[in-house]
Amino acid sequence: MCTLAATMSTKLAVLGLVIEHPGYGYQLAQRLDERCGSWGWERTGVYGALDSLARDGHLYSREAKASGKSGRAAPRLVYEATQQGLDFFRSWMCSQSTPGPVRQELDLKLLFSRAEYLPTLVDQTWSHEQHCLNQLNRLTSTEHEHLHGTPLRPPSLRELGEQLQLDAEVRLLQVRIEWLRDVRNALREYLDTTAIRARHNQDV
């Protein structure tokens, strides 16, 4: 995801959280991490998003007393959505979503690789595959708990959205793992072929 797209996505996610329930920066960062931590957003990006949304007139802030027992903590800025922010969010929700390609750093390395780098890239595909497998195991365990750890009842809209997002992440990881194995096999085949050609040329 490019920087501009990532910044806009963070702003929209933070605005969505504030519309659901007003909160202060650290609290919103925690909620963002709980809701969509797999997107890889930095918590520090939440504060930048809040400042930008406030400058754009989509949020306003008010001071609220800290909830500590001593009452000595500094007051916090609690953010709430403005009508302009609600209208902006509604417009975004109703607009057509543009599909975007999923790109990773390894993909770029493959595009610009030379033969000397291929053994290293073979190792990197294996490392990436293990990472994806670990993520997949974690997500499928979470999915199992989500499906079987609650009483039978119709899911709330939020629960349904979270389940659909979880399913998307699982499927993308499964495809990525299969692709990484295909890449590794293709690179090894290329290395074997070039090694055979090199030996043949030496014998001629």
Range with top average pLDDT, 70-79, 99-108, 131-140: 131-140
CA distance between the termini of the chain? 50
Residues 116-132 have a mean pLDDT of: 94
Question: Per-residue pLDDT averaged across 17-38, rounded?
Answer: 88
Does 73 have pLDDT greater than 90? no
Closest CA to 38 of 156, 173, 158, 160: 173
Q: What average pLDDT does the structure give for the chain?
A: 85
- Tokens representing 39? 């997107």
Q: What is the pLDDT confidence band of residue 61, given thresholds at 50, 70 and 90?
A: very high
Give the separation between CA 42 and CA 23, rounded to whole angstroms. 18
pTM of the predicted structure, to 2 decimals = 0.69
Q: What is the pLDDT of residue 153?
A: 77
